[in-house]
Amino acid sequence: MSRPDLREAALRNLQGRLATDPRDLAEHTPVIEPLSLDEAYLDVTENLQAIPLARDVALAIRARIKEVTGLNASAGISYNKFLAKLASDHRKPNGQYVITPEMGPAFVETPARRQIPRHRTGDKR
């Protein structure tokens, strides 16, 4: 196999390992917004399992990912997508973090603790 073929085979293998059965996520909520191969936003405000805390929903999903794929997963829990992403990044590679409405402003205002992701437009700034 050539190097590009090996890369493609590795990518297909990785995709297969990362792709948990969508029914696993749909057991918790029908509101699933995939972002990439291994990332999605889930609105668990009114989750289908009647789990009272989003933190506990995230624990269940992370445990299922580990069971199905053998891989670790991070979860960010917050009241909007931006903060949920920051929370997830805050506890990578295998953890979770909650940013409450009370914590949100201070969390964003403290850049020393994390780097806020920026969209790259191709410029070299």
pLDDT in tens, 102-123: 999 998 887 655 555 555 555 5
pLDDT at position 84 over 90:
yes
The HSE-up count of residue 103 (CA atoms within 13 Å, CB side) is 13
Fold of the domain spanning 17-113: Alpha-Beta Plaits (3.30.70)
Tell me if residue 8 is catalytic.
no
**Residue 82: Cβ-neighbour burial (10 angstroms; 0-12, 13-18, 19+):** middle
| Segments making up each domain of the chain, as ranges | 17-113
Q: Of 8, 33, 39, 67, which one is the catalytic site residue?
A: 39
- pLDDT per residue over 42-77, tens digit each? 999 888 999 999 999 999 988 988 888 888 889 999
Check residue 15 and give its pLDDT. 43
Q: Pull the structure tokens for residue 8.
A: 């493609």
